[in-house]
Structure 1
């Protein structure tokens, strides 16, 4: 199956018109499409099915518990499939069954280990203030984000461990699954734990892992020769980012990933 991948379009401020990739069989939106949700309209009559995993900015200035059902209703009205702690199977043109396992997978701040968690959560304060979201009526701060992240992680681990007769498994998250996805512009610093998680132990359970969040592109392969599952996992991000910061330079909006 050929998957067109887009994320971090930030249509609330960016002047960008997404176009369907001619060879794509499905479009994956890996989050931060539009904090206002208005830009989702551009995918309403897309020529192939659209799977959407919400990013952190989909919840800017919103209450998490009410935003989820409202966002789901918005997506349903547009014919977009929103996935959050959900899995689905799609059949490609060759009759292969592809399983998609998806969640926002908020950051748990353990990217550098538990010993560095406090530093990571302190660094996250800036990003939480930018979001200005709430959860259960309280600020959606680093502690609340971690709680959501751990729930996502537990679901993801269980879902990937379940038997499935699919020919391939694709994981979609907004946050990066590995230190390898850190933005090279900023390197390894406490703030990086607000963008990536240490989910490398889950990588062997997926053939392909798609993510967004970091405003840079990634395409790397992780080999699993030392694990019970042989083979490898390809990790791809096709985030666009902001033109004013030069992040959109070189972005390929028609990129397709084969699984």
Structure 2
């Protein structure tokens, strides 16, 4: 299956109009498309099915729990399939069955280990202030983000470990990155990096391909496992043009799974 990947378009501030990639069988939106949701409308007339995982900025200035049904309804009205802690098996043009396992997978701030967690959470408080989300009337702060991240992690681990008989390949789709290998090279392994990357390396062997966003840089690398299998990790995030992050971006990038 040929997947066009787009993420971190930030259409709430960016002047960018994506186009369908020739030969793509599906469009995968990796989150942070538009914090106002208005930009999602242009994907309503996309020529191929559209699959989406939400990004953290889809929750800007909103309550996380009450936002989910509203975002689902909005996406459904446009014909976009939004997956959160859900799996979907989709057949490609050749009849191969591709399993998509998807969740935002909020960060748990353990990317550098438990000893560095407090420091990472303090650094992460900046990003929470930028997002300005709430949950149950309280700030969606680093503590609550970690709680949600761990719930995502538990679901993801259980779902990826399920029997895949009848499926030809498994694609994990998360907004946050699954490994420090995806750290932005501009910033390296700073405490704030734990707000972007999780330490889900132990889950990589359960997926043939892992698609993520969140980092405003591109990644396409392969992780080898002890049993000889590999996982391809791909991120095609655009980012902010004013910061030079969109330089060299390929909006027609397609990955075959």
Distance 2:169 2:112 in 1: 30
Q: Which residue of 2 aligns with 1:61?
A: 61
Matched residue SS, 2:87: strand
Q: Give the length in aligned residue pairs.
A: 256
The aligned runs of 1:23-62 (5 Å cut-off) are: 23-62=23-62
TM-score normalised over the length of structure 2: 0.99
Q: Which residue of 1 aligns with 2:189?
A: 188
Which deviations, in whole Å up to 9, do the C-alpha atoms of 1:183-229 show, x marking residues without a partner? 000001100000000000000000000000000000000000x2xx4
Moved over 6 A (4+): none
Q: Which residue of 2 aligns with 1:3?
A: 3
Q: Which residue of 2 aligns with 1:222?
A: 223
Matched residue SS, 1:147: helix
TM-score normalised over the length of structure 1: 0.98
Matched residue SS, 1:124: helix
The aligned runs of 1:1-259 (5 Å cut-off) are: 1-164=1-164, 165-224=166-225, 226=226, 229-259=227-257
Which deviations, in whole Å up to 9, do the C-alpha atoms of 1:3-23 show, x marking residues without a partner? 000000000000000100011
Distance 1:45 1:101 in 2: 24
Distance 1:256 1:10 in 2: 20
Distance 1:179 1:200 in 2: 9
Distance 1:158 1:136 in 2: 27
Matched residue SS, 1:252: coil
Distance 2:233 2:23 in 1: 20
Which deviations, in whole Å up to 9, do the C-alpha atoms of 1:98-157 show, x marking residues without a partner? 000000000000000001000000001110000000011110000000000000000000
Distance 1:42 1:86 in 2: 24
Distance 2:197 2:137 in 1: 26
Distance 2:106 2:197 in 1: 9
**Runs of at least 5 residues in structure 1 that lack an aligned partner in the other structure:** none
Distance 1:189 1:22 in 2: 39
Distance 1:117 1:111 in 2: 8
Distance 2:73 2:135 in 1: 19
Distance 1:198 1:126 in 2: 21
Distance 1:38 1:184 in 2: 31
Distance 2:146 2:219 in 1: 25
Matched residue SS, 1:129: helix
Matched residue SS, 1:115: helix
Structure 1 residue 230, shift from structure 2 partner: 3.1
Matched residue SS, 1:192: helix
